[in-house]
Amino acid sequence: MRIESLELNNFRNYRSATVKFGDGLNVLHGKNASGKTNLLESVYLCSIFKSPRTSKDKELVKLGEDSATVKLTVARKFRSHTIILHIDSQGKKKVVVDGVPILRAGELLGTLGVVFFSPDEMKLVKEAPSERRRFLDVGLSQQQKSYFISLQRYGKTLKQKNNLLKEYRHSSNIDDMLDVWDMGLAKEGALIIKRRLQYISTLNAAAGKFHNIISGQKEELKLSYENGMSEEALLSDDLEQYLLRAIKAAREKDKELGFCTVGPHRDDIKIELDGKDSRKFASQGQQRTVALSMKLGEVVIFRDGIGEPPVLLLDDVLSELDETRQNLLLKMTQGFQTILTCTEYDLPVPADKFLICDGTVAKD
C-alpha cells in the first residue's frame, strides 16, 4: 500500500501543509525541531490511532488553536481510502474513513498499515518488558482485529480486577467476585498468548535471517515467549484452563500486593544470542542489531500476512546505525513506500526529497 497525500491543519507546529508522496523512498530533511517527526507522527496516528510519543493527545493540536485535522489518502491493492482524523483542544479524537465515522479504534486498524522505526524502537532489547509487549501488540493488532479486541477486553477486565484487589481485598466475598474476573481473564488471556506464540515463532525465523546477514553469520539469535507457564501448558489445547489455574494460584499473593501478577500483561519476549540473554548481556551494538532484525522481521511478517507491503516510517534511524546496517535497511526498503527523516541526506539512493522548515514542507 502507498500513501498518496497527506494534509495537516493546525497539527503540532504545522499551520497548513500538503504533501504528495512518491511510491518509493521519500526523504524529509530539515533542521532539528523543524517538524519532521511531527509529520511521521500524524501518519502513525492515521494507522494506529495512538501517538508513538505521547498519551496526551491535546499536545497534538497546534498551540493556541482549537483543533487539528489530518487528512490522508492511501492507495491499497483494490481500492483507495481517505482517512480524516480530527483532534479537539481537549485531546478527543474522531476518525472518518471514506465518509463514515469510526466509533472504535479497532475499526480503523488495518486501513493503513505502517511499521515505525525510531531511535526508541532501536532500544527495544534493553527497554522494559512493556515495550516488547507493545511491539507484539502493535504488530499483531494491525494484522488481526480479533487480537486487538481480545486485548481491549483483557485490559478492561484486568483494570476492574486490580481495582477490586486494591479496594476490597479484605472484604469477605472478594473470592466470589474474583472468580468471575479470573474466568474472563483466562479466556481472553489464552487467546492473546496463543497469537503471540505464533507470532514469535514466525518472527524468530524472519528476524534470525536478518540477524545472520547483519552480523555476518557470527551469532545465532533466538526469540521465544517468556511467561511463567510450562512448555506443556503453552502448547496445550487447554491453555485457558492452565492459565486459570496459574491466576488462581497467585491469588493470595495478588491480594497482598493489590494487583494481578499473572497473565499476558506480565509476559515478555526472551531474546538470546548464542544462548545468552541479550536483554542483560548484549553490547549496545548487538542490541541495536537485534532490534533492527526484529523490526525487519515485523515488516516481512506484515507483508506476507496481509498480502501487501506496509508503509515504512523511518524516524532518524540512519544516524543510529553504521554503514553496513544503513545499507541493509535501505536495501530492505525497496519494494516498500518509505518515509524517512534525517537532518541531512547524502546517500546515493534516489529519493523524492522534501525540505521541512518550521512547519512547512517544500518539494526539493
Ligand X SMILES: Nc1ncnc2c1ncn2[C@@H]1O[C@H](COP(=O)(O)OP(=O)(O)OP(=O)(O)O)[C@@H](O)[C@H]1O
Q: By CB under 6 A, name the binding residues for ligand X.
A: 12-13, 30, 32-38, 59, 61-63, 316, 343
**Least CB distance to Mg ion at residue 39 (A):** 9
**Least CB distance to Mg ion at residue 34 (A):** 9
How far is the C-alpha of 261 from the C-alpha of 215, rounded, in Å? Answer: 37
- Residue 12: which of ligand X, Mg ion, none does it interact with, CB under 5 to 8 A by kind? ligand X
How far is the C-alpha of 309 from the C-alpha of 320, rounded, in Å? Answer: 24
- Residue 173: which of Mg ion, ligand X, none does it interact with, CB under 5 to 8 A by kind? none
Q: Which is nearer to ligand X, 3 or 247 (CB)?
A: 3
3-state secondary structure of 23: coil
Q: Which is nearer to ligand X, 29 or 288 (CB)?
A: 29
Decide if 29 contacts 353 (C-beta within 8 A).
Answer: yes
**Least CB distance to ligand X at residue 59 (A):** 5
- Residue 34: which of ligand X, Mg ion, none does it interact with, CB under 5 to 8 A by kind? ligand X
Q: Which is nearer to Mg ion, 26 or 37 (CB)?
A: 37
Q: Which is nearer to ligand X, 36 or 132 (CB)?
A: 36
Paired with 92 in beta bridges are none
**Least CB distance to ligand X at residue 332 (A):** 22
Kindly report the number of other CB atoms within 10 A of residue 93's CB atom. Answer: 20
**Which residue is closest to Mg ion by CB?**
37
Decide if 141 contacts 151 (C-beta within 8 A).
Answer: yes
Residue showing cell 472478594:
174
Nine-digit cell string for 149 = 479486541
For Mg ion, which residue of 10, 13, 26, 37 counts as binding (CB under 5 A)? 37
- Residue 297: which of ligand X, Mg ion, none does it interact with, CB under 5 to 8 A by kind? none
- How far apart, in Å, are the Cα atoms of 260 and each of 50, 158, 336? 26, 8, 42
CA–chain centroid gap for 328, Å, is: 22
Q: Which residues bind Mg ion (CB under 5 A)?
A: 37
